């Protein structure tokens, strides 16, 4: 049976696509017919993931670099002719009390998740305006809506990403481009596994206790979000059915922020 959402003739660029959420998003967009350019700083893993996805291309890029962001979009246009979809997913984490937070780590997190999303948007959006159609999906987090201790840079970047989403949405609507943020709660990915270990070390508790008390206790649905669920939400936001959804922070948090 053909997939209900048809993204044939659409071209997508997904950052942070070597593994985890980004890889799942790239795979789902391709399943629904899109040509996909995957990007990551991990070249070996990125090329390996791209090899499993039909009609895809891998381009190594550090989204903190304006030149590399534009080179990534240029490579997508050279290969497929246009860019219709941008998923700003590249991310990382550092958990630490604010008084001990290394400045270089602050700069790195803000640079990748917030500045990098701005740079990628700035490079890609002229292509969407030219096409008269576009979708920008910024991968924020439930931590973009509510605060967490020991995650100052992550929360700052993800909160800022929602502001960026809303601002660009107001500019882009008249050009046929929607801009949305998705805000998952805890998703089991390599990044989250590192978060669990960091939280356990910082708080002096076991990793099982981190999952049970910090991640799942506030949620209405007592399980972690699956990468496939996040990917399906992104694909829907790229569909024609989501054409009037813009400037929104879309929660996928199992009721985590319902309190």
225 contacts 156 by C-beta, under 8 angstroms? no
Is position 154 annotated as part of the catalytic site? yes
Is the Cβ–Cβ distance between 234 and 21 less than 8 Å? no
Q: 27 near 234, Cβ under 8 Å?
A: no
Contact 178, 136 (CB under 8 A): yes
Residue 37: closest CA among 16, 23, 58, 53 = 58
Phi-psi region of 132 (alpha: psi -120 to 50; beta: other; left: phi over 0): left
In a 3-state reduction of DSSP, which class is residue 52? coil
* 8 Å CB contact between 131 and 86: no
Annotated active-site residue in 31, 154, 186, 233: 154
- What are 108's two structure tokens? 């790195």
Q: Any idea which residues carry the catalytic annotation?
A: 154
């Amino acid at each position: 049976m053909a997939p209900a959402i048809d993204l044939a003739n659409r071209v997508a660029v997904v950052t942070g696509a070597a593994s985890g959420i980004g890889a799942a998003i790239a795979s789902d967009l391709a399943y629904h017919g899109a040509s996909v350019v995957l990007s990551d700083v991990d070249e070996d893993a990125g090329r390996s993931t791209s090899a499993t996805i039909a009609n895809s291309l891998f381009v190594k890029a550090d989204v903190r670099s304006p030149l590399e962001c534009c080179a990534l979009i240029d490579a997508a246009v050279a290969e497929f002719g246009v860019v219709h979809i941008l998923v700003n997913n590249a991310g990382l984490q550092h958990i630490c009390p604010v008084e001990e937070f290394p400045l270089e780590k602050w700069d790195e997190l803000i640079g990748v998740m917030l500045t990098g999303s701005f740079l990628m948007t700035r490079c890609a959006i002229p292509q969407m305006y030219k096409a008269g159609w576009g979708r920008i999906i910024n991968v924020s987090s439930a931590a973009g809506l509510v605060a967490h201790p020991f995650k100052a840079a992550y929360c700052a970047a993800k909160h800022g990403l929602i502001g960026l989403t809303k601002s660009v949405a107001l500019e882009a609507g008249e050009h046929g481009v929607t801009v949305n943020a998705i805000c998952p709660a805890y998703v089991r990915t390599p990044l989250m596994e590192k978060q669990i270990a960091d939280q356990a070390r910082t708080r002096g508790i076991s990793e099982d206790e981190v999952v049970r008390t910090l991640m799942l206790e506030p949620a209405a649905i007592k399980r972690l979000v699956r990468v496939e669920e996040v990917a399906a939400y992104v694909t829907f936001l790229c569909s024609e059915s989501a054409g009037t959804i813009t400037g929104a922070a879309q929660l996928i948090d199992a009721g985590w922020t319902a309190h």
